Amino acid sequence: MAGSVTEFVVFMASPSDLTEEREAVRAVVDETNALLANSDIRFRVAGWENTLPGAGRPQGLINPGVESCDIFIGLLKHRWGSPTGLYSSGFEEEYTLAQARHDDGGLPTIHLFFGDVPDNLLEDPGVSLQQVLAFKEKITSERRALYRRFQDRHDLVRQVQSVLVAKALAHSDATARKDAVGSSAAEESPPETIATVELDEAREQMSSTLRAFDTVIRGEATGSVHHDQDRLELMAHAFSRDKEEIGSHLANRLFRRRSELSLSVGEAGLWLRSLLADVGRHEAPSRTIPGWGVLGNPNGEIGELVKLATSDERAAAVGALRAIRERGLRPGALFGGADGEFRADDDLSEIVVTWVKALNADPGKSEALDYLLASFDEVVPGLVEFEWRSPA
C-alpha cells in the first residue's frame, strides 16, 4: 500500500488476575488491524509483557509505555495490585501518569473497564477489592474519565473494538478534512496516495452506526442521536472470532426492520450460518431465526452451503445439508463438474473426501445419507457402497 501508516499505541493496565482479558484485548487489536488492512491505520498493544528487563525500579521500566501511548485501557475486577514504591499499585501509577498526560495535552484517551463482581464478594470484600471499589467511586465522583462494566471477556472484546473503530473513524475524518482544506487552497488534485472510497448502502449504514456510538464513547451524545444497538450487536457478532450465532430475539427485531436495512457480506454470511444452525436444530415450523431471503438465490450461496455442510459446526452442517437436499441442488464439490454433472475426468477422490466430511459433520447421518442415497448413485454408480471414514 502506498503512503505512510499511522500507528496508534494502546497501553493495557491491569493487575495479574485479568490474564485472559489481556489476551482477548490483544486478539481484538489483531482482528481490527486485519479489518483495516487496506487503510493507513494500525494499532499496537503495549503493556508490562512488552517491557525488556533492566536495572532500576520495575514500574519505572513499564512507565515509558504509558508516556507514549495514544489509548489507555484500564481493566479492573477483583484485585488492585501490588505497591510500586510510589503508589499503592502498578495500575494506580499507570493511570495517574495517563491522566496527567491527558489533562496536559488531550492524550491518551482513557477508557476504564470494570469486570462484574459476584454479590457474595461485594458483601464481604477483602482489602484488594475494597481498593478497586474505592477507585471506582473516585472516578464516578470526579467525572474525569469514562468507565464501563463488562460481564465477561466476550463483552469486553465488543466494547474495546468499539473504542478502536471510533479512533480509526476520528482519524479518517480528521485526515479527510485536512486533505480537503489543502486541496482547496492549492487548487490541485489530491495526491495519488489518497483514494476516495464510495461506500455501498450496507457499509454506509455500518459507518453511521459506529459514528453514533462514537458520540456515546466521547460523552457527546444528545437525545437527538439515534443509537442503533441492534445493528451494532449484529456487526459485533459478524466481526467476532468466536463464531457466535445471532440470538432469536435480535434476529427477529432486525427482521422486522428489513425494509430499512442492508446487510454487508459478513453480516449476511453470519445470518445464513445462524439460520442454517437453527434449521439443523429444529424441524419446520418451529425454528426461530427468520430467513431474510438469504437463501433466495441458493446458487449464489452454494459454495457457502457446501462449506458449512462439511464444517465442524454440527447444527449448521445439518441445516446446510437439509437446505441443499430440499432445494435439489447439485454442488460441483459433491457431484463433480461446475454444473453438478459427473464426468470421467473428474477427480473422484476429492468428491469422496467432501462426502466423507459431510457425513462426519452430520452426527445422525440422516440428512447426508438421505441425500446421498436419493440422488448420488445415478451420477456415480457404485459410490453409495463406499465405506465412509474420517480422512487422515
Give the pLDDT score at 384.
34
CA torsion 126-128-132-137 (nearest 10°) is: 60
Indicate whether 350 pLDDT > 80: no
Give the pLDDT score at 381.
40
Which pLDDT tens digit goes with each residue over 176-213?
Answer: 666 655 555 544 444 433 334 445 677 778 888 887 77
Domain co-membership, 300 together with 241? no
| Peptide bond between residue 290 and the one before it cis (omega within 30 degrees of 0) | no
Which pLDDT tens digit goes with each residue over 224-283?
Answer: 445 688 888 888 888 776 667 888 888 888 888 888 888 877 788 788 888 888 887 776
Indicate whether 288 pLDDT > 50: yes
What confidence category does residue 391 fall into, taking pLDDT thresholds of 50, 70 and 90?
very low
Domain co-membership, 121 together with 156? yes
Domain co-membership, 309 together with 367? yes
Mean pLDDT of the residues in the chain: 76
Least confident of 230-234, 236-240, 314-318, 355-359: 355-359
Domain co-membership, 141 together with 11? yes
What's the CA gap between 190 and 34, in Å, rounded?
A: 26
Q: Are 47 and 22 in contact (CB under 8 A)?
A: yes
Which pLDDT tens digit goes with each residue over 268-281?
Answer: 878 888 888 888 77
Strand ranges for the chain from DSSP E: 6-13, 41-46, 71-76, 109-115, 146-150
What confidence category does residue 111 fall into, taking pLDDT thresholds of 50, 70 and 90?
very high
Question: Domain boundary at 161, 189, 213, which?
Answer: 161
Give the pLDDT score at 213.
76
Range of the domain at 104: 6-161
Domain co-membership, 107 together with 190? no
Domain co-membership, 143 together with 130? yes
Q: Give the angle subtended at the CA of 115 by the CAs of 110 and 121, to the nearest 5°.
A: 135
Question: Domain boundary at 118, 137, 161, which?
Answer: 161
Of residues 289 and 52, more confidence is placed in 289
The SS3 call for residue 115 is strand
Query: How many CB atoms are closer than 10 A to CB 137?
Result: 10
Which pLDDT tens digit goes with each residue over 128-168?
Answer: 999 999 999 999 888 777 789 998 888 899 889 888 988 88
DSSP string, 132-187: HHHHHHHHHHHT-SEEEEESSHHHHHHHHHHHHHHHHHHHHHHHHHHHHHHHHHHT
The reply to whether 259 falls in a domain is no
Which pLDDT tens digit goes with each residue over 75-101?
Answer: 999 999 999 999 999 999 999 999 999
- Count of structural domains within the chain: 3
Give the pLDDT score at 113.
96
Domain co-membership, 70 together with 190? no
Question: Domain boundary at 185, 218, 248, which?
Answer: 248
Which pLDDT tens digit goes with each residue over 9-45?
Answer: 999 999 988 999 999 999 999 988 888 887 889 999 9
Query: How many CB atoms are closer than 10 A to CB 13?
Result: 29
The reply to whether 264 falls in a domain is no
What's the CA gap between 205 and 199, in Å, rounded?
A: 9
